[in-house]
Structure 1
């Protein structure tokens, strides 16, 4: 029996040697920091792409540092390729009238088509043509999907991410003529970089079209996904439920679940395990028998991480029903989940989640000591809330990450 002082507090050395895995981070936002990755204490970084400027950078880092081939041979990074909802307005949905006439990646939409597209996908519809012209020429959704497919096939352990929905996000204002020359050149272009926010948001139906196309691609290639969701957990769940229809898992009786657990070996349980008659089931250890593309395509991602989950505890039951054919995980970061008044809600979620569906992440933009520190901080918090020793928690979280990544 471990002493109370062993549980997640800052009084004890952190067991980096057991293997600590960052489920979601963005070091390619500061490429100068990439050189620090080989010296980090974190075993593996799951690096997310978000927009046009960083897709190839994530590829480059994966090539330099190595991704590994399975759960027993893991490199320093796992790449993620996806289009974040903050940049979804830059994508032309073929169902939009504004997308007509766009045939390939080399086609540059004329001024009128660009205006029509942004007036269509942004709300309120912009009247400021100078603002619209400051935005990138939009890319066809079909091109985005083919480019992402190419990167995923070239990286057999890569996931799809960061993708998702965001009801709160507003586009930053255009760079002022005097500001663009003074921007921090060490930062990868495309992010906000301190600019004031405009009144414009991306229409939710457009975000959903971009998200759905990427979810279908992840299912086709049997890849995990990392989902960003802000004020949109219900909408994300509804979209996933559409994709799950007709593929639901068999719902086992409570007695049969107990019998199978006794054979396979029980996982740690929590309140939600005992009360929820639809608790998810999965193998006791990760199995990665073949590359994902060699297995039948699915119309939904096989594994999903709700990144820096900020929703309440009650919807967890819908995500974790035994009939859900995707294995769904929830990751937490100190920078998002423990930085404001919503921390109490997050504490409740962490306490009631099944132990094998928890992940930790830094969600940080700069590799090195600061990223290690953020990952250690959130891991200690999770261990303290769950009543785990650091060794118990780090081992559990490492196994969870391997299940998430490799199945």
Structure 2
């Protein structure tokens, strides 16, 4: 969903390049997890999920037309118990899906904050014109045809209520795709129904020209924060979109964790504390949750019973999907005071789809901690292409990191499992 320009979802998977050189066999048996994809944009591809080599797909919702589609795919292919990830290979089970429910910034104009308005809208057309004129730039107030082509806006409270119910019905689900985007412009007009591709889920660009209108950043941030609050309430991880707005995205998150920063104890002070004091100074206990193996990774140990999750105003973990910022911005998310553990996923289409992305890719991967890197396809169609792009990005990451393929895929698998674990499932371990 996140193209390098932020302008559209591709209708065809980009062509893979094969130089014909012999390659080391890819270790699919370890378990390859796609941290971010959109196969519900092409529902005809869903039947191919069960035959994919990838072990797990994290499927994003983005707008009104696909929320229930993600539900339907999760009901058919969804993992109901996280232990399933370790108890079977990809070829032994059709259960491969973790759903994510969220409202993408490209469609944020379609929501309005009804807590700021009259409880009952009586003049729908006037309300529609007022809303779109206030959240779009330049204002389209005089462009009555364009406003007429847009859907009636949805109350934010209604969307949040429905999303909460979907999340409660799917305990493994996360919130996504959400975020901010400065590059995206709305497409012109309505789709021609007589010529549209019936395989595509409605609501996307579908070949239309781009208009000059974009969603004002304050409105995007408002919609983002509302969903981040919901994630904090329910203890769910989030999948974040950020295009040409990395500072805005970071500031939005930081505004929610303000006052909740972790205390960072210096090494000198730690050494001064007498032995036997059971105080945890680490930023993450994940290293203690895994036994050692030949790569220093391992299988999860039985965790101690944790206290019930206490709602917070921010999510416990966040994945910056197809992270396209510079190394300096990535490092900003690694401040040990931050109470949100941040992961970074990478895709062929976004991170290596342009010369600019290719030029900074190695530096960004080297700046990303080994325990916080993930892979994704970001594709809109399931099947062989999705498998292929997961393999391609994984190979590139392992090459930069200097990992063997088996070592690298074990690391990335473990990272995803730590990212996914929702707070309500931690009691007693898994």
| TM-score (norm: length of structure 2) | 0.82
Shift of 1:109: 5.6
- Segments of 5+ residues of structure 2 without an aligned counterpart are 1-20, 87-94, 290-299, 423-430
Please, which of 264, 268, 272 is the counterpart of residue 251 of structure 1? 264
Ranges in structure 1 where 5+ consecutive residues have no aligned partner: 1-8, 264-277
Matches within 5 A, 1:108-119: 110-119=124-133
Q: Does 2:145 correspond to 1:130?
A: yes
Q: Say which of 350, 370, 378 aligns to 1:336.
A: 350
Equivalent in the alignment of 1:82: 102
Residues 48 and 79 in structure 1, CA contact (< 8 A), matched pair in contact too: yes
The equivalent residue for 1:266 is none
1:102 positional shift: 4.8
- Alignment deviations for residues 82-125 of structure 1 (CA, whole Å, 9 cap, x no partner): 000000000012365xxx3354xxx7861111011101110000
Q: Structure 1 residue 298: deviation in Å?
A: 1.1
Match of 2:327 among 310, 313, 316: 313
Change (3 A) 1:320 1:180: same
Match of 2:76 among 54, 64, 74: 64
- Indicate conservation of the 8 Å contact 1:71/1:406, yes or no: no
**1:300-328: CA deviation from partner (whole Å, max 9, x where unpaired):** 00000000000001122321111100110
Aligned-residue Cα RMSD (Å) equals 2.6
Secondary structure of the residue that 2:328 maps to in structure 1?
coil
Find the counterpart in structure 1 of residue 410 from structure 2.
395
- Aligned counterparts of 2:270 and 2:382: Cα–Cα separation in 1: 42
Residue 225 of structure 1: aligned partner: 238
Deviation at residue 69 of structure 1 after TM alignment: 2.3
The 1:72–1:336 alpha-carbon spacing in structure 2 relative to 1, beyond 3 Å, is same
Contact 2:184–2:214 (8 Å) recurs in 1: yes
Contact 2:78 2:99 in 1 (8 A): no
**What is the CA–CA distance in structure 2 between the aligned matches of 1:397 and 1:259, rounded to whole Å?**
36
Aligned to 1:281: 284
Provide the aligned length of Structure 1 versus Structure 2. Answer: 375
Task: Report deviation, 1:10.
Answer: 6.0
Q: Partners in 1 of 2:326 and 2:270 — Cα distance?
A: 27
Equivalent position of 1:235 in the other structure: 248
Q: 2:118 aligns with which of 89, 94, 101?
A: 101
Give the aligned partner of residue 18 of structure 1: 30
Residues 84 and 123 of structure 1, relative CA distance in 2, 3 Å threshold = same
Q: Which residue of 2 aligns with 1:274?
A: none
Query: What are the Cα deviations for residues 108-145 of structure 1, in whole angstroms up to 9, with x where unaligned?
Result: 86111101110111000012111111111101111111
Using the TM superposition, give the Cα deviation of residue 68 of structure 1 relative to its aligned residue in structure 2, in angstroms: 2.5
Separation in 2 of the partners of 1:217 and 1:66? Answer: 22
> 1:347 Cα deviation (Å)?
1.9
Give the Cα–Cα distance (whole angstroms) in 1 for the partners of residues 304 and 190 of structure 2. Answer: 47
Give runs of aligned pairs for residues 121-200 of structure 1, distance below 5 A. 121-126=135-140, 127-175=142-190, 179-200=192-213
Partner residue in 2 for 1:272: none
Q: Please point out which of 393, 399, 405 is paired with 1:378.
A: 393
Q: Which residue of 2 aligns with 1:211?
A: 224
> Which secondary structure does the structure 2 equivalent of 1:380 belong to?
helix
Shift in Å at residue 30 of structure 1? 0.5
Kept after mapping to 2: 8 A contact 1:287/1:406: no
Structure 1: distance between partners of 2:52 and 2:410:
19
Distance 2:315 2:50 in 1: 31
Q: What is the TM-score normalised by the length of structure 1?
A: 0.87
Q: Distance in 2 between matches of 1:144 and 1:109?
A: 21
Secondary structure at the aligned position of 1:182 is classed as: coil
Pairwise CA distance, 1:66: 2.4
The farther-off stretch of 387-396 and 312-321 is: 312-321
Whole-Å separation in 2 of the counterparts to 1:91 and 1:108: 17
